[in-house]
Amino acid sequence: MARKDFLDIASLTREEVDHLLDQATPFKELFTRSVKKVPALKGKSVLTLFYEPSTRTHSSFEVAAKRLSADVIDLDVPHSSAVKGETVKDTVDTLQAMRADYIVVRHKMSGLPQAIARQTKASVINAGDGAHAHPTQALLDAFTLKEVFPSPAGKKVLIVGDILHSRVARSTSNLFLKLGVEVGFLGPGSLVPKLGPAGITRFTDFEEALKWGPDVVYLLRVQMERQDVPSFPGLQEYHRVYGVTQERFKQIQGEGTYIMHPGPVNRGVELCHEVMDYEHSLINQQVENGIAARMAVLYWLKPGTSEGEPQHETD
């Protein structure tokens, strides 16, 4: 059954996850054609609302929507100052008046896309809300993982970094767990939740974590701006303790372990620059897959539908 909104991973069933991952493949195949565009969303409008700056996710959504022939309207919203709560309803009313079919929203406030979704008929796609969720990132990560491991159940993925403030860690680990992947968290004690989700192995030492035998090391971007109170002493120390240093890279290379990163990469912090040319780095593949995954989501959602609406007869 189609959904109106795509807000988080937690509420997706295994069936829905499998469906979306399955659908990303035919969309990716389109990229090899001379015409990469299909008319599926012709006449529909996709509104992008990025209250937080983002180049990758923003352009990825834009390309995905355009390849589905939708009209893409980027609402120019202030990046620095958050939308005040008072104006959320006004914003929604404005969007309603513009008759957008899909609204892609990124905001630093966790739960804001949910609040918008409740008040509009348009399909709302969460492009990242605060530290809560980044469900299309999770989908492209899982799609990428499945390209190297068609049956990912039982594989081990080590997620490294600021787990506490990361919506990527939340959504991606959540989706990986749904696929039967074993997930490990590694990061500074002040940035790994003590009462996190069940079924995750926690590490505080990189060498110990590598002994666990991960098939993929997923590095999170260090975001100093998300920390109101200092949680670790500095970037150099971070690289030394929680980064893929040259020494650790040798070990990772020796094992053939895959590397993932949601981008953009801070060279010399999360990883040393040698990793970027590593044959088992999936970082660029993640970017390409982002478009296919987002096309699959746009194609799956049905704006303004409710269950029980009549299904029209078809040829």
Partner 1 sequence: MSLLFKGGKIAAEEGPLVPGDVLVVDGVITAVGKKLEAPKGVRVVDVTGRIVAPAMFDSHVHFREPGQEHKEDLAHGSEAAINGGVTGVVMMPNTSPAIDSAGVVRTLLDKAAEVSRIPVYTSGCITKGRAGTELAGIDGMRKLGVTMLTDDGDPVVDPALLKNAMEYATPFGMFFASHCEVPELAGPRALNEGKVSYELGIKGSPACSEEICMDRDIRLAHAAGAHVHIQHVSSALGMETIRWWKERGVRVTAEVSPHHLIFNEDDIGDYDTHYKMNPPLRTEEDNAALLAGLKEGVFDLIATDHAPHSEFEKSQDFVTAPNGITGLESALVSLFDRFVVPGEFGWDLLVKRYSAEPRRMMGLPAVPIEEGKPAELIVFDPAGETTFTREFMKSKSANTPFLDQTLKGSVDLVLLGNEILLERD
Partner 2 sequence: MNAAAIGEAVATLVEKICATARRERVAIVGIRSRGDEVAERVCAALSKEGIEHDYGMIDISLYRDDLSHLAENPKLQSSEITFQMDGAHIILIDDVLFTGRTIRAALDALTDYGRPARIQLAILIDRGHREIPIQPDYVGATLETARMDHVLVRLKNTDGEDAVELVTNS
Note the residues at the interface with partner 1 (CB under 8 A).
10-11, 84-86, 88-89, 109-112, 114-115, 118-119, 129-133, 164, 167, 170, 193, 195-197
Residues 6+ apart with CB under 8 A from 191: 161, 162, 163, 164, 165, 231, 232
- Considering the complex, state which of residue 7 and residue 252 has its C-beta at the smaller distance from partner 1: 7
Tell me how far, at minimum, the Cβ of 300 lies from partner 1, in Å: 20
Q: Which is nearer to partner 2, 1 or 195 (CB)?
A: 1
Cβ at position 296, least distance to partner 2 in Å: 8
The residues of the shown chain that bind partner 2, judged by CB under 8 A, are 1-2, 19, 22-23, 25-27, 29, 33-35, 37-41, 43-44, 68, 299-300, 302, 305, 309-312, 314-315
Partner that binds at residue 39, options partner 2, partner 1, none, CB closer than 5 to 8 Å by kind: partner 2
Nearest partner of 192 among 232, 243, 225, 154, judged by Cα: 232
Q: Where are the extended beta strands (E) located within 133-267? A: 156-160, 182-186, 200-203, 216-219, 258-260
HSE, CB side, 13 Å, CA atoms: give it for residue 37: 11
Identify the residue whose tokens are 């996709």: 46
Residue 197 interacting entry, from partner 2, partner 1, none, C-beta within 5 to 8 Å by type: partner 1
Residues 6+ away with beta carbon under 8 Å from 3: 16, 300, 301, 302
For the CB of residue 146, give the shortest distance to partner 2 in the complex, in Å.
15
Quote the CA–CA distance of 200 and 185 in Å, as a whole number. Answer: 7
* Cβ closest to partner 2, residue 40 vs residue 276: 40
Rank residues 71 and 255 by Cβ distance to partner 2 and give the closer one: 71
CB of 295 to partner 2, least distance (A): 9
Question: In degrees rounded to 5, what are phi and psi of residue 64?
Answer: -60, -45
The least distance separating partner 2 from the CB of residue 235, rounded to whole angstroms, comes to 44
Phi, psi of 155 (to 5 degrees): -75, 160
Backbone angles phi, psi at 172, to 5 degrees: -70, -45
Q: Which does 118 bind (CB under 5 to 8 A by kind): partner 1, partner 2, none?
A: partner 1
263 binds, among partner 2, partner 1, none (CB under 5 to 8 A by kind): none
Query: Considering the complex, what minimum distance in angstroms separates the CB of residue 196 from partner 1?
Result: 5
The entry of partner 2, partner 1, none that residue 11 binds, CB within 5 to 8 Å by partner kind: partner 1
- CB nearer partner 1, residue 130 or residue 214: 130
What's the farthest any 2 CA atoms get from each other in the chain? 64
Helix (H) or strand (E) holding 248: helix 246-255
